[in-house]
Each structure stands twice: as structure tokens, then as C-alpha cells.
A = this chain, B = another copy of it.
Amino acid sequence: MRLSRYYMPLMRETPAEAQIVSHRLMLRAGLIRQMSAGIYAWLPLGKRVLAKIEQIVREEQNRAGAVEVLMPTIQSADLWRESGRYDAYGAEMLRIKDRHDREMLYGPTNEEMITDIFRSTVKSYRQLPLNLYHIQWKFRDEVRPRFGIMRGREFLMKDAYSFDLSAEDARKSYRKMFIAYLRTFARMGLKSVPMRADTGPIGGDLSHEFIILAETGESQVFCHRDLIEMPVPGEDFDFDGDTESVVNQRTSLYAATEEMHNAEAFAALPDDKQVSARGIEVGHIFYFGTKYSKAMGAKVAGPDGTDVTVEMGSYGVGVSRLMGAIIEANHDENGIIWPDSVAPFDVGLIDLKPGDPVTGELCARIYRDLTQAKLDVLYDDTEERTGAKFASMDLIGVPWQIIVGPKGATKGVVEIKNRRTGERAEMTPEAAIARFAAKDM
């Protein structure tokens, strides 16, 4: 993408309303723009990152055997009356009347709707286990939206729903999602710790929050230090095989959110293993048994022909909120530092003397070759000052920069810079192209 044809409105000033670093950087780097309280538009850079996060979530859900659907944002109030949550949900639910005065709502979550789809289409235990997920916009009418997209009102969530014949099978489904979540966050360069959590209005008795430790985290969390660096299952992990040992290895160590914290058990850990820190919730999984299936009559014929009320769980990832969490964990005083897997562009290419035919031709060649190698390149071909170009490229956090100046171009060299380490190296354009085209980053 040539910057002269792109739309990347940066902000020079730090916006006063932004209290946390991710919110400030998302506004300054032109990732988002607030349209109403807690409601944001995603500008081109932000949309690119959002799509990459979404795709990682999707791939890991598919790998774990979940099947993608897409439910609508607007739901009928009647469905929620069946579960009893229409009255229970409170003011956070955005309630709507349509032109025929029918009561509708903007879905804050989808337990009721997926249970309705399930009960109308699945009749036999042979169709189980089943885990259906979607990635869709939700609305929760927060009384005081804040921290940018971290606690917005309209937000993108992945929510999955598992259906099983027995509690034992349901725990198997729960463990698959547990492991899928570890992989999902690790692929985004995040160290997530699953912590025993309160089930809240979803219900049930087994629940984990997946927490990213960060100074600006919204809540206090407590865990065993070994959990932070514990390795995550690889791409070839067999989700149909042994999931218990991975889950047990983690759940046997202390980790709890504030609501579930047991000070005594925590104090029993060796001193150097006690981590008390701020955390950001990026995922939350629940096993709640028959809470919805019983209320809504979601049954299948079991192996002996008698009806069985299915056991359910639900599994959420805050897709849009993850962008904030990633920035909280990856930035410096100059701006964002994207992990490769979610970066809006792989490489930033800077022409230091636009209009000069030598740098221009060299940049055009590098741009063409890297684009052909399927890399996403942001090519700064604008007439901005050199200092401003460097500052912008640092701010938006593209992992690698290729800097083409007139002296180097005449000598036949370009400079490459690693955004995270600041390391720079001179090399021939051919070497730079070969290096990135091989994705040897």
C-alpha cells in the first residue's frame, strides 16, 4: 500500500480523555475513532489488525473442532423470556422495539439463540459432540464506557457453545476450548494465564478467565509464577487425544481472580512463586450444564432411545478488546510494537527523498518484489519530513522498516530496522528483499 493513497489519520496530541496507554496509542496511530460513547469506528490500520486477530481466533477454533456459524445481532425478547434472563439481565441489555412494537434486543451474548437453533435441528446423540461458534458484534450498554475499546459498548466477540450427552463429555469439550485459548493468545504474542473465575450471570460451577498480566489491567489477580512462562501445546496437538494432562498441569497451580481468591492458599506458595498483579481478561470459559437446555427443552434421543437434556458450555474471546491487550503488552515511548502475527503491515518502506529518481526506483522495486512475495508493505512515498516519517512508522508499530536514502541508494545499500529492538543493519536491496521474502523475520 502506498501511503499517498492510503488513509491513516494520525493524531499529534495525546487525547485528554484517554487514560490508558492502549487507548491513547490507538487514537494517536489512527486505529480507531470514537463515534459515540463506547462506540468506535475502525480506521484502515485498526481494521487490518482486527482482521488478523479474528483470523487467528477462527483458525484455533476450527483446529479444536468447533464449527463456525453466524448469528444475527438483533434477537427476539421472547427467546430470553424462556431462559428467564430477559428480566434478569438489567440495564446493560440494549432493548429495542421494532415498527410493529415487538420487543427485540441487541444481543449481549447468544446462549438462548444457539440453544434454540440446536433444539430445532439436532435430534440424536449421534450428532454430538457439537461445538458451534461465531464471531459477531455484541452490545452491552455499559453505564460508563471507558478505556477505549477495552470497555466499549459495541464490541466484537467470539462466542462458542458446546453440546454434549454427558457431564463427562462436556468437560472434554471444555478442555478443548481451554487448550485452544492457550494457543490463540500465544499466537498473538500474549502470555495468558487461565484462572478460576466466578461464573456470574452466565451460570454454572466451572469457569476460567484467561488473563494477560499488565500494569494497567482492570482487576487484581493472583497466580503461581510458573504459569506465566509455561509452554503452550503446538500446532500438531491432538484435540481428540489426551487433553487432561495439559489442563491439569495448569489447574494444579494456584491462579485466581479477585472474586475467587483464597488468601490462605496463595500464602502457602513459596514466596518467590507468588505473583500478585493487575490483569486484563481476554477470554472466559464456562461449563454450566443444563441451565439453558433444561429451561428451553434442548434434548436429544440417547443411545437407548430416551430423551437426554444436553450438557452445555460457552466460551468467549474478546476479539476487539484483544487489540488493546496486545498494545498494553507491546509498546514503548515511541508507540506500538506489533507482534508479527497481528501487525497491520509486515514491513514499512520509507523513501527518504521522494521525487528523487534513484530512491524512487529502488523503493518501487523493493515494493513490487515484497508484494509479489505476499508481504504486506506500507510504502511511505509521501513528501513528509524525514523526522516525521520515522516518528509515524515507529508510532504505528510495523515490525520492520526498510529505509531508502539517497546516499545509500547511490552506494547500492538500504537500511533495515527492527522496531522492537531498534537494531539497524545496512545491506543490499537484494539481501533485504531475500530476507523478508523468505519471511525470515
Which chain B residues lie closer than 8 Å to A91 at the CB level? Answer: 99
Partner of A41, one of B35, B104, B117, B153: B117
Contact A47 to B70, CB < 8 A, known contacts A96-B94, A121-B33: yes
A48 to B106 alpha-carbon distance, docked (Å)? 24
A72 touches B9 (CB 8 A): no
B44 touches A7 (CB 8 A): no
Which of A30, A33, A70, A106 gathers most chain B CB within 10 Å? A70
A residues 335-352 touching B (CB-CB < 8 Å): none
Within the complex, the shortest CB–CB distance from A75 to chain B, in Å, comes to 7
A68 touches B96 (CB 8 A): no
> Is A130 close to B, CB under 8 A?
yes
> Is A253 close to B, CB under 8 A?
no
Contact A70 to B42, CB < 8 A, known contacts A36-B76, A76-B35, A121-B33: yes
> Is A358 close to B, CB under 8 A?
no
A98 touches B94 (CB 8 A): yes
Within the complex, the shortest CB–CB distance from A157 to chain B, in Å, comes to 14
A221 to B67 alpha-carbon distance, docked (Å)? 41
Which chain B residues lie closer than 8 Å to A73 at the CB level? Answer: 73, 137, 154
B5 touches A132 (CB 8 A): no
Within the complex, the shortest CB–CB distance from A187 to chain B, in Å, comes to 20
A99 touches B35 (CB 8 A): no
> Is A6 close to B, CB under 8 A?
yes
Within the complex, the shortest CB–CB distance from A3 to chain B, in Å, comes to 11
> Is A436 close to B, CB under 8 A?
no
A91 to B73 alpha-carbon distance, docked (Å)? 19
> Is A143 close to B, CB under 8 A?
yes
Which chain B residues lie closer than 8 Å to A132 at the CB level? Answer: 7, 44
> Is A122 close to B, CB under 8 A?
yes
Q: How many A residues have CB within 8 A of the partner chain?
A: 54
A75 touches B33 (CB 8 A): no
Interface string of A131-153 (1 = CB under 8 A from B): 01010010101010000000001
B41 touches A70 (CB 8 A): yes
> Is A120 close to B, CB under 8 A?
yes
Partner of A50, one of B70, B74, B92, B116: B70
Within the complex, the shortest CB–CB distance from A216 to chain B, in Å, comes to 24
A106 touches B74 (CB 8 A): yes
A39 touches B72 (CB 8 A): yes
> Is A71 close to B, CB under 8 A?
yes
> Is A203 close to B, CB under 8 A?
no
Which chain B residues lie closer than 8 Å to A143 at the CB level? Answer: 99
Partner of A35, one of B65, B72, B96, B137: B72
B74 touches A154 (CB 8 A): yes
> Is A427 close to B, CB under 8 A?
no
Interface string of A66-96 (1 = CB under 8 A from B): 0111111111100000000000000110101
B74 touches A39 (CB 8 A): yes
Which of A99, A116, A127 gathers most chain B CB within 10 Å? A99
Within the complex, the shortest CB–CB distance from A115 to chain B, in Å, comes to 12
A46 to B130 alpha-carbon distance, docked (Å)? 18
> Is A40 close to B, CB under 8 A?
yes
Interchain residue pairs with CB less than 8 A apart (18): A5-B67, A7-B122, A7-B127, A7-B132, A30-B121, A35-B75, A35-B113, A36-B76, A39-B74, A41-B72, A44-B68, A46-B70, A47-B68, A72-B137, A74-B94, A74-B154, A91-B99, A137-B137
Q: A7-B122, A43-B69, A48-B68 are in contact. List 6 more A-B contacts (CB 8 A).
A: A7-B67, A9-B121, A35-B71, A39-B72, A43-B117, A73-B137
